[in-house]
Amino acid sequence: MEIVANLLMVLLVAFLIGMPFIKKNWVYQESYADDEIEVNRKELLFSALGEIEFDYRMKKLGDEDYQELKAGYQKDALNILNQEENELEKELEEKLTKKRSNRQSQSGDDDE
């Protein structure tokens, strides 16, 4: 009886460990991970900018290194902020279009 119980436990553990490799459709988890990566990337960029500024003020970075690092991180941060702004504008435009079409369909119903 113990052998059967142990065998079942081993099979259960093997199944649980192997499931992510067998199952191909982890769409929700992947999209969540992508969103999380973007948030973490943004936080890391702004944190790095703060650290660069601190190191420069503490004389740990020279002028040339400071300017080069700052410019690179600012460029990356600006790209992320522009991307977020574009996504928000697109979302807002979609909502406005939907609202306008709802109003037009309601005014068309009132005319009849």
Domain spans of the chain? 25-111
The secondary structure of 30-54, three-state, reads: HHHHHHHHHHHHHHHHHHHHHHHHH
Cα separation, 62 vs 52, whole angstroms: 11
pLDDT tens over the chain, length 112 residues = 889 888 889 988 888 887 777 766 555 455 556 666 677 888 899 999 999 999 999 999 999 999 999 999 999 999 999 998 999 999 999 999 999 998 888 876 655 5
Position 35 scores a pLDDT of 64
Report if pTM > 0.85: no
Position 15 scores a pLDDT of 81
Angle made by CA atoms 41, 44, 50, in degrees to the nearest 5: 145
Cα separation, 10 vs 41, whole angstroms: 39
> Cα dist. 46→55, 57, 58, 63, 77 in Å?
14, 17, 18, 20, 7
